[in-house]
Chain A
Amino acid sequence: MGGIIQRWLGVLLPLLLALAATMVVFGAFLAVQGVDPIQAYGIIWLGGFGTWFSWQDSLVRAAPLLLTGLCVALPAQMGLMIIGGEGAFVLGALGAVAAGLALASSGLPDVVVDIAMGIAGICAGGALIAFCGILRFKRGVNETISSLLLAYISIAFMNQIIAGPMRDPASLNRPATRTLPDNLMLGDIPGTTIHVGLIFGLVCCVAAYICVYFTKFGFAARVVGGNARAGRVVGLPVERMIVAFCFAAGGAAGLGGMVEVAAVQGAVSSDIATGAGYTGILVAFLARMNPLAIIPVAVLLGGLDAAGGLLQQRLNLPDATMLVFRGVLFVMLLASEAFQGRLTRYLVPRRRLAEVV
């Protein structure tokens, strides 16, 4: 019993310390500008998590981050660093809207069309990241670089498509595809203003967690991530596993793009590149590549994002204030990793620690 408390303390204490340090540093930053830090923290809390309205706001913002976070965390299990989730997100949205528009008047039930849109999104995003994986083991191309560059190419491709072949002739001053009919739009979770994309994200995170930590396949992946050569020696199909994981990762981001277009924007315009793919990198790193930990981290980031608006409205602070807060928080969190599991050593005398453990 004591051992569990000890272990949790070891994990939580550094987090709490990081939070406290952030509050102090950012508070000083605010005070220098003549803003009352206590009031500002009150507003951040209110805007992010203080009311049911704020919670909904935060969760809506967290939804795409769950999926784009996975796009980084899954390949990381195999030691691959994919940072091009934005590309998969955009292609996923484009694929989904193409499928939706093509099937809109086919007479198929809405659910079937929505599923087809989801599959199209997953395949489009998955193919992009899987391509990075293939480039990696076939040609030795660094996947970090290739995925980032492919993200730029994907966004340019999307811009080309929406200004050309798929352009809605009515979208004069803002090139966009035609808008999905209302009956194909994903609805909200009943009783809330949160779209069902949040559920997709939660399910994917939990599924990824189970796959990585509780299946043979996930175990094999982590073996490869630890030492690819060892994996090969024991007869693991390393190449195929890389492709599978990369496809799943890109598929997650692609599904995020599908949700963005089918639950929020309704059509693809250049605004479909929301930056969720890049924020997902941050999410995954803060979650230390653990799919389950992505959930609280994404909600925290969504909340900070939501709070930023209120901070501007109430205190008339510039938008960048929230970036400063986020930046300080991340530096502190990363620094706190150095203390993971070590602080208890100083809190408890060695002898007793030995007894407890």
Chain B
Amino acid sequence: MTNFAPSRRSVLLGAAATAATAALPGRGAQAAASMTVGFIYVGSRDDYGYNQSHAEGAAVVRKMPGVSVVEQERVPETVACANAMEGMIHLDGATLLFPTSYGYFNPYMLKAAKTNPGVTFMHCGGLWAKGDPLNAHSYFGYIDEAVYVSGIVAGHMTKTKKFGFVAAKPIPQVLRNINAFILGAQTVDPSITMQVIFTGDWFMPVREAEVTNTLADQGADVITCHVDSPKVVIETAEKRGLYTCGYHADQAPLAPKGYLTGAEWNWTYLYPKWITAMMAGGTMPNYIRGGFKEGFVKSSPYGAMVPAAARAQADAARAGFMTGDFAIFKGPIKDNKGNTVIPAGTVMGEHDPVLEGMGYMVAGVSGSAT
């Protein structure tokens, strides 16, 4: 807990570090009476998804005394993002920035961190590595824990034993959620299968609607997704009378009949906590990760239709994550081509860096990752 120059491999300290953020004095520590915080989003602030989850966090920060917030939405991962950051620093006097999209990290944020050493950068999703500027930080949550819990609930509700998953791109973050969802469900009934369809990009409302309908036609009765804005998927599934599990934010208002639960980011809890710590003169670690235990993720409240048995099993799984002695990815696990990807006896905890490079889908999932 004293070494704060983690390499990619020493990620284990991330979680512990998160819990201790407030207590760490050190480099550049300065108590501030007031500060301006900038938030930059890649999409719309009210997308019922990724960007909304951050904007809700920003809204809480805005109410904190001594903090003013500037926001900018729909900033593409181009030079526009660099300019947005510089604008917030030079025109609004921001000293803490939250560029929240993956593609902002390299090169834009790293470059801005080098030229603005007095500004703290908190990036969501990136992998801070040794050698990157010390005023740059990257944080992300193990939301697959919450997805796993959703999978358990879905496993209890399905009648056709078929799920549909609308995914953006076949990249490790997405594949990990796909696998967590089906693994959660298979603890209820190992015969459950899932069809995954990739839309190809993070925000493709039309494709997402088509794909959801296709999955419904194929007999799936629980739909979930990993796209930036789950709005279209959830609404379409609701219209088709299917159950849904949400992602990124709470989509219950969109689907009062079918919304079971969902995996949500908990930025409304973390952002004020971090900023309070920083204003008190504390410093953040450069590489921050966490799950349920560290308050990064939460589950949406259960829908009224979720029976007691499902709630009990889901609550138990969550309790396991809270104590930190439960792992989703423990062998033996086979991929959907029959290869053993995690041998029997191997347990991969959430912090295991091997999981950040996941390139397979587990048995029971149909669809191609390539």
Contact = CB atoms under 8 A, between A and B. Distances in A.
Interface of A: 46-47, 51, 53-54, 57, 60-61, 159, 172-175, 179, 193, 260, 264-266, 269-271, 274-275, 305-306, 309-310, 312-314, 316, 318-319
Contacts of A57: 83, 86-87
Interface of B: 38, 44-45, 70-80, 82-84, 86-88, 90-92, 102-103, 107, 125, 169, 171-173, 200-201, 356-357
B103 A53 contact: no
A275 B173 CA distance: 26
Q: Which of B38, B80, B82, B356 has the most CB of A within 10 A?
A: B80
Contacts, number: 84
Contacts of B74: 319
B356 A174 contact: no
Contact of A271 (B38, B70, B72, B76): B76
B259 to A, nearest CB: 27
A306 B77 contact: no
B73 A61 contact: no
A312 B73 contact: yes
Contacts of B45: 318
Q: By CB atoms of chain B within 10 A, which of A159, A172, A175, A313 has the most?
A: A313
B171 A174 contact: yes
Contacts of A305: 80
B119 to A, nearest CB: 15
A313 B71 contact: yes
A310 B83 contact: no
A275 B356 CA distance: 31
Contact of A306 (B70, B87, B102): B87
A193 B74 CA distance: 23
B78 A173 contact: no
A317 to B, nearest CB: 10
Contacts of A274: 76, 78
A310 B91 contact: yes
A172 B80 contact: no
A275 B74 CA distance: 13
Contact of A269 (B70, B80, B91, B103): B103
A189 B38 CA distance: 28
Q: Which one of B72, B102, B172, B201 has the highest number of Cβ atoms from chain A below 10 Å of its Cβ?
A: B72
Contacts of A54: 91
Given A60-B79, A266-B107, A306-B83, A53 B72 contact: no
Determine which residue in B72, B83, B173, B356 has the highest number of CB atoms from chain A within 10 A of its CB, and name it: B83
A309 B71 CA distance: 9
Contacts of B75: 309
A61 B92 contact: no
B78 A265 contact: yes
B72 A312 contact: yes
A313 B86 contact: no
A270 B73 contact: no
B356 A264 contact: no
A309 B83 CA distance: 9
B80 A61 contact: yes
Given A61-B83, A309-B75, A173 B171 contact: yes
B286 to A, nearest CB: 18
Nearest to B77: A271
B271 to A, nearest CB: 17
Given A47-B87, A265-B107, A306-B83, A314 B171 contact: no
Contact of A173 (B79, B173, B200, B201): B173
Nearest to B90: A53
B148 to A, nearest CB: 19
A275 B200 CA distance: 18
Given A57-B87, A271-B76, 19 more contacts: A47-B87, A54-B91, A57-B83, A60-B83, A172-B171, A173-B102, A173-B172, A173-B173, A264-B79, A265-B78, A269-B77, A312-B71, A313-B71, A313-B91, A314-B70, A314-B92, A318-B45, A319-B44, A319-B73
B72 A313 contact: yes
Contact of A309 (B84, B103, B125): B84
Contact of B201 (A51, A264, A270, A318): A270
Nearest to A164: B370
A319 B87 CA distance: 15
Given A264-B78, A312-B71, A313-B71, A271 B103 contact: yes
Contacts of B200: 159
Contacts of A319: 44, 72-74
A79 B107 CA distance: 41
B143 to A, nearest CB: 13
What are the 9 A-B residue pairs with the smallest beta carbon separation, nearest first?
A: A313-B70, A319-B74, A271-B77, A173-B171, A274-B78, A312-B72, A57-B83, A264-B79, A319-B73
A174 B87 contact: no
Contacts of B103: 174, 269, 271
B125 A173 contact: yes
30 contacts: A46-B91, A47-B87, A47-B91, A53-B86, A53-B91, A54-B91, A57-B86, A60-B83, A61-B83, A172-B172, A172-B357, A173-B125, A174-B103, A175-B171, A260-B78, A269-B77, A270-B201, A271-B77, A271-B78, A271-B103, A305-B80, A309-B84, A310-B87, A312-B72, A313-B38, A313-B70, A313-B71, A314-B92, A319-B72, A319-B73
